[in-house]
């Protein structure tokens, strides 16, 4: 079986609200194999929209069109809602930014992970519980029995995010979409969470789409980077080649980052060229 998991060609997403239409994603194309692909951009660039469109998480009025939106043997574009439900959480999972908001506050975290498992696998409760314990250990949570019975408000940000990862990976998906998974976390905790994610991705040979606004973070963590601006992909390159980026927007973004080791009296301000909106 080919290692190509996802093939997206000319993806367009339009949000329709009454008479108003917003073209959020314009002609985005990319492929995803067993690798870590980053989609970076600023707010309004459409990066989160791309991720959510793959799982068709937008309201019904949204228009998603593409030349190809192929996930293995499934055509996501024409897939029915029922087919999508089988894919979400099972074959393609999504990790969101803030565990405070993405975990159900009134259910124990262990039960939530078990629920994620039971939604896609027929198993007894105790079997599911066992699997949850194993998963919690895999995400380096040291006391899984105790943590199983905690509520989301009782766990720290880093642990909550690892629980979210456990919940999303317990079904052994083929692709994970991580939408700013470490943006709400402290710096010291970030590395831990990223390591956990990387271990799982490598071990289960998954494809990872890492959506972020942090160029510096993805250049070390991911294999390839897609830079988005105003709904378009303006540059696509290997993460290690980021310093050789050619598009003025990418170069401008990199230059505008304040750096501890490269102190400059003034930060170069990004000059937006209207031509970028048409490329």
Q: What residues make contact with other proteins under the rule CB under 8 A?
A: 22, 24, 42-45, 157, 186-188, 190-191, 213-217, 219-220, 229-231, 243-244, 251-272
Cβ proximity to other proteins: between 117 and 229 the closer is: 229
DSSP 3-state of 274: helix
Cβ proximity to other proteins: between 4 and 238 the closer is: 238
Q: How far is CA 37 from CA 74, 175, 206, 214, 219, in A?
A: 21, 11, 11, 13, 10
210, two tokens: 């890492």
| Residue where the block lists tokens 């999303």 | 168
Q: Distance from CA of residue 122 to its chain's centroid? A: 27
Q: Distance from CA of residue 76 to its chain's centroid? A: 17
Q: Minimum distance from CB of 244 to other proteins (Å)?
A: 7
Q: Minimum distance from CB of 75 to other proteins (Å)?
A: 29
Q: Minimum distance from CB of 252 to other proteins (Å)?
A: 7
Contact status, residue 238 vs residue 246, Cβ threshold 8 Å? no
Q: Minimum distance from CB of 61 to other proteins (Å)?
A: 17
Q: Minimum distance from CB of 191 to other proteins (Å)?
A: 6
Cβ proximity to other proteins: between 18 and 78 the closer is: 18
Name the pairing type of β-strands 224-229 and 232-238. antiparallel
Cβ proximity to other proteins: between 149 and 156 the closer is: 156
Backbone angles phi, psi at 213, to 5 degrees: -105, -5
| Residue 138: how many other CB atoms lie within 10 Å | 18
Cβ proximity to other proteins: between 147 and 253 the closer is: 253
Q: Minimum distance from CB of 94 to other proteins (Å)?
A: 23
- The alpha-helical segments, DSSP class H, found in the chain are 47-54, 81-87, 99-102, 109-118, 125-138, 144-148, 157-169, 187-203, 215-221, 248-256
Q: Minimum distance from CB of 70 to other proteins (Å)?
A: 28
Cβ proximity to other proteins: between 82 and 264 the closer is: 264
Cβ proximity to other proteins: between 122 and 264 the closer is: 264
Contact status, residue 95 vs residue 196, Cβ threshold 8 Å? no
């Amino acid at each position: 079986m080919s290692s190509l998991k996802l093939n997206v060609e000319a993806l367009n997403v339009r949000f329709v609200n009454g008479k108003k239409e917003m073209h959020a994603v314009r002609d985005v194309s990319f492929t995803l194999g067993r690798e870590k692909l980053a989609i970076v951009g600023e707010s309004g660039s459409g990066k989160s929209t791309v991720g959510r469109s793959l799982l068709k998480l937008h309201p019904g009025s949204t228009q998603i069109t593409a030349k190809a939106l192929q996930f293995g043997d499934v055509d996501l574009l024409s897939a029915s809602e029922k087919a999508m439900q089988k894919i979400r959480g099972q074959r393609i999972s999504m990790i969101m930014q803030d565990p405070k908001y993405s975990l159900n506050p009134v259910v124990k975290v262990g039960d939530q992970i078990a629920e994620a498992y039971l939604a896609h696998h027929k198993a007894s409760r105790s079997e599911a519980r066992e699997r949850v314990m194993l998963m919690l250990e895999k995400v380096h949570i040291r006391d899984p029995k105790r943590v199983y019975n905690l509520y989301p408000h009782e766990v720290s940000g880093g642990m909550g995010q690892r629980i979210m990862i456990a919940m999303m990976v317990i079904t052994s998906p083929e692709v994970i979409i991580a939408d700013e998974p470490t943006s709400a976390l402290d710096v010291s905790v970030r590395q831990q969470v990223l390591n956990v994610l990387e271990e799982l991705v490598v071990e289960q040979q998954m494809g990872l789409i890492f959506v972020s606004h942090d160029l510096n973070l993805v250049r070390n963590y991911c294999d390839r980077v897609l830079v988005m601006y105003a709904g378009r992909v303006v540059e696509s390159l290997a993460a290690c080649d980021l310093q050789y980026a050619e598009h003025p927007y990418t170069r401008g973004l990199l230059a505008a980052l304040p750096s501890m080791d490269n102190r400059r009296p003034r930060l170069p301000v990004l000059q937006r060229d209207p031509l970028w909106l048409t490329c």
